[in-house]
Amino acid sequence: MRFAVLGAGAIGAYVGAALARGGADVTLIARGDHLRAMAEHGVRVQSPRGDFEAHPAATSELTAIADADVVVLGVKAYSLPALAPRIGELLRPDAVVVAAQNGIPWWYFQRDGGPLEGRILESVDPGGVVSRAIRPEQVVGCVVYCSTEIAAPGVIRHIEGTRFSIGTPGGQPNDVCGSIAAAFTAGGLKCPADTDVRPQIWLKLIGNAAFNPITTITRATLGGLATSPHAVGFVRTVMEECAAVAGALGIELPVSLDRRLEAGLAVGDHRTSMLQDWEAGKPLETDCMTAAVVEIAGMVDVPVPSVQALHELTKAVEELRDA
C-alpha cells in the first residue's frame, strides 16, 4: 500500500515518519525549508515515547498523489477548497483520501442518513467544490488525537497522543480501513476503525473550538489557561454550546464535558495549533471550527451566542495582526 501525505507539516510529517518506520511506502509532500530538510536528512522525531528517524521520499509536487493508494490530507482545512479540483483530477479511481484535519470535515453530511443528508457546509466547502472533487466512496474520515510541533525544519517534536480514529462517512467497514489501520499500527500509532466517527469528531471539536481560539486571543498555553477561572468558565460555556449542537444532530458524546475539559487543560505547557499559526503569521482555522458550529447551529435552530462571539473575536485578532 502506497501512501502520500499531502501537507507534511507537524502532524503530516509525524504520521509519514511513523508509517515509514512501520515499513510502508510513503511520499511526503511539503515545501520550503521543511521540505529541503526532510529530503536531505529525513524526518527526525523527538518523542517521550522514544526518538526515531525515518527517510520517506519527499517532494513539493502534488502529482505525487497520482501513484498513491492512500492520500493522507495534512493540509489545513482552509487550503482544501483551492486544492480539491486538482486532487480530484490526480486521484486514482480506487484511491482513498484520509481526511486528517481539524474541525467539521466537508463530508460531514455525506451518507449520514439524517434529515440533513447531503447538505453542503459553506464554511468548509464553499459552493461544494470539495464534495464535487472527492467522491464520498473515496473518503476515510480521521480524527487526530495527537499533539506535535515543528521544532526545526525536518524535526518534529511529538508532545502526546498517538491515536488516529478512522471510518467511512457511511460507517461501512471495509478492507481499505483495515489496511490503513494495520499500516498505522505497524508504525507505532493507534488506529481504531469506527463504525461512526462523527461522535469522535464532535468530542475533539468541542475542545478545539473552545481551546484553540481562546488560547490564541489570550496568548496562553493550555496549562496557562487553567490558572484563570474566568477563562476556564468561558471554555466550559463554549463547550456546552457546541455539545448542544451535537445533541441536536443526535450525537452522543463518548465522554463527559467535564472529562473533555480536564483532558484539554491537563496537556499543560503546550501552545495550541491555532496559537502557533497566529504567532507564525499564518491564517487561522476558524472556519472549520467556530464558523462550522455556527452554521450547523443555524440548521438545527440551537442558539450559540458564545461561539459566535468567540468566532468574531478570533477573526478580529487575525485581522489586527495582519494589519
Domain ranges of the chain: 2-196, 199-322
Q: Are 201 and 144 in contact (CB under 8 A)?
A: no
pLDDT confidence tier of residue 201, bands split at 50, 70 and 90: very high
pLDDT band at 182 (very low <50, low <70, confident <90, very high): very high
Write the pLDDT tens digit of every residue in 93-113. Answer: 999 999 999 999 999 999 988
Q: State the cell numbers at 272.
A: 495550541
How many percent of the chain have pLDDT more than 90? Answer: 91
Whether residue 143 is predicted with pLDDT greater than 90 in this model: the reply is yes
- pLDDT tens per residue, range 32-57: 999 999 999 999 999 999 999 999 99
Set 76, 190, 204, 282: catalytic member: 204
204 in catalytic set? yes
Domain 199-322 has CATH 1.10.8.60: no
The domain 2-196: what is its CATH number? 3.40.50.720
Q: How many residues does the chain have?
A: 323
The model's confidence at residue 92, banded by pLDDT at 50, 70 and 90, is: very high
User: Phi-psi region for residue 153, left (φ > 0), alpha (ψ -120 to 50) or beta?
Assistant: beta
